[in-house]
Amino acid sequence: MTQVMVIFRRELGSYFSTPLAYVFIVMFLILTGVFTFYLGGFYERRQADLTPFFMFHPWLYLFLIPAVSMRLWAEERKSGTLELLLTLPVPLKTAVLGKFLAAWVFTGVALVLTFPIWLTVNYLGEPDNGVILAGYIGSWLMAGGFLAIGSCLSAATSNQVIAFILTVVVCFVFVAAGFPLVLEAFQSWAPAVVVDAVAGLSFLTHFEAVSRGVLDFRDLLYFLIMCVGWLYATAIVIDMKKAD
């Protein structure tokens, strides 16, 4: 655990030593505000809740999270520091976990900084803060899933732009799998068990369930499996590249 924390602190510090962190946070805060109060029709709904706020998170993450994850390993490979990192007395799984946790905490910081929106909705009404808390938890878990996918695809290439594009495409597939249009397309020819399986693969399905305030074990298990599975794949990819 000590080695994980060393990698974690190194990576987290590297975010805030470049303009990337501040650009990401400012963009995230601006976009969440615009989507919540304008595109989400916050005032027109006349309801004291954060449904419009959380509704756009999967689509925001689809482009913002890959911008964070693309540098996790691609930058290390391009600069040649990956070989140095792998020669240190640090297990590969420790490095993978430490870098992932740093990126996950970084996105968590951006998410926490949206608290003025929560203050606003509490000022305007009496929302169910338990549901709002569940929505924040679900959003952070979903961000972790996106980051784990991005970590694996970043490890597969030394080009950050390619890593970004691949992550957007793969994450879009996992989001769109739960979109009503996709499910309706499957319902027209596939049995119900297949439709349920496709929906079960989607970030959208599980995030929407959690954001409604229902912390179902199956939804939490889904996010855990996504993170662990893709991080394990990251370690495999890096090990394969090391052997080349």
- pTM score of the predicted model: 0.90
Query: Look-up: residue for tokens 């596939």?
Result: 190
The pLDDT value given to residue 141: 95
- Give the C-alpha separation, 6 to 214, whole Å: 35
Q: What is the pLDDT along the chain (244 residues), one digit of tens a residue?
A: 677 888 888 888 888 888 878 888 999 999 998 888 887 777 777 777 888 889 889 989 998 999 999 888 877 776 666 666 666 667 888 888 999 999 999 999 999 999 998 998 888 888 889 889 999 999 999 999 999 999 999 988 888 899 999 999 999 988 888 777 777 777 777 777 877 787 788 888 889 889 888 888 888 999 999 999 999 999 998 888 665 5
DSSP string across 154-198: HHT-S-HHHHHHHHHHHHHHHHHTTSHHHHHHHHTTS-HHHHHHH
Structure tokens given for 9: 């602190």
CB-based contacts of 101, cutoff 8 Å, min separation 6 = 4, 8
pLDDT in tens, 32-76: 988 888 877 777 777 778 888 898 899 899 989 999 998 888 777
- Confidence at residue 178, expressed as pLDDT on a 0 to 100 scale: 75
Q: Is the dihedral of CA 7, 8, 12, 13 positive or negative?
A: negative
Residue 1's pLDDT is what?
62
CA-based torsion, 29, 31, 35, 38: positive or negative: positive
Q: pLDDT tens, 136-155? A: 999 999 999 999 999 999 98
